């Protein structure tokens, strides 16, 4: 015959562990994304032609060994006065002036939403309307009061990668 006290305490421990896992798993899932695409937007006033930036590791030739895994995008994919958002890397890369590339966290400092677009000189969060400078990441409108964190990048030839 088993001791009822032991059975109850094992059950409590098991329930406590399951409860912790039940709370922890959704939190971990919220941190990740199954979306393998990237969101892009240009600073131009013309509609997007539907072309998306090439994510890291992609290869137009279909040979994965020919892709530069460290390259996030090409300099030609980031328009002057605009930018591109890389949701998987949670980074937005901008080109405020010809040949000057900046990178910032794509996570809005207001409530943690990913920014949605880059246009008219600002990085825009659609959740609550915050807007950030493409030059400094400083807030220019909306409820956000803190700047987007700067991300160090390396520009080598025509490739941009996170440092």
First to last CA, the chain: 63
Q: Evaluate whether residue 87 is within a structural domain.
A: yes
For the whole prediction, is pTM greater than 0.75? no
Q: Can you tell me the distance from the alpha carbon of 105 to that of 109, in angstroms, rounded to the nearest whole number?
A: 9
- Assess if residue 76 is contained within a domain: yes
78 in the same domain as 13? no
Position 2 scores a pLDDT of 52
Write b or e for each residue in 82-103: b if 16 or more Cβ atoms lie within 10 A of its Cβ, otherwise e.
bbbbbbbbebbbbbbeeeebbb
Q: How many domains does the chain have?
A: 2
* Whole-number Å distance between alpha carbons of 93 and 134: 9
Rounded to whole angstroms, how far apart are CA atoms 108 and 153?
19
8 lies in some domain:
yes
Report the number of secondary-structure helices (H) and strands (E) in the chain. Answer: 1, 11
- Residue 48 sits at φ, ψ, to 5 deg, of -65, 145
CATH number at 92 reads 2.102.10.10
Per-residue model confidence (pLDDT) at position 22: 53
Domain match, 157 and 80 both: yes
Strands 159-162 and 153-156: antiparallel
Task: Note down the domain range covering 119.
Answer: 40-45+66-162
Three-class secondary structure assignment of 95-144? EEECCEEEEEECECCCCCCECCEEECCEEECCCCCCEEECCCCCEEECCC
Q: Over the chain (163 residues), what is each successive 10-residue block's mean pLDDT?
A: 49 50 46 41 35 34 39 92 95 96 96 94 95 97 95 94 91
């Amino acid at each position: 015959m088993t001791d009822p006290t032991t059975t109850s305490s094992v059950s409590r421990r098991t329930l406590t562990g399951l409860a912790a896992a039940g709370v922890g798993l959704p939190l971990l899932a919220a941190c990740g994304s199954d979306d393998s695409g990237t969101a892009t937007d240009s600073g131009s006033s013309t509609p997007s032609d539907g072309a998306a930036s090439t994510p890291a590791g992609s290869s137009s030739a279909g040979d994965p060994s020919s892709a530069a895994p460290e390259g996030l995008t090409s300099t030609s994919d980031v328009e002057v006065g605009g930018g591109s958002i890389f949701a998987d890397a949670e980074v937005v890369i901008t080109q405020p002036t010809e040949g000057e590339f900046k990178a910032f966290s794509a996570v809005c400092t207001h409530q943690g939403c990913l920014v949605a677009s880059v246009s008219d000189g600002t990085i825009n969060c659609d959740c609550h309307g915050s807007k950030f400078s493409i030059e400094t990441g400083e807030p220019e409108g909306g409820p956000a009061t803190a700047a987007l964190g700067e991300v160090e990048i390396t520009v080598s030839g025509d490739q941009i990668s996170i440092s």
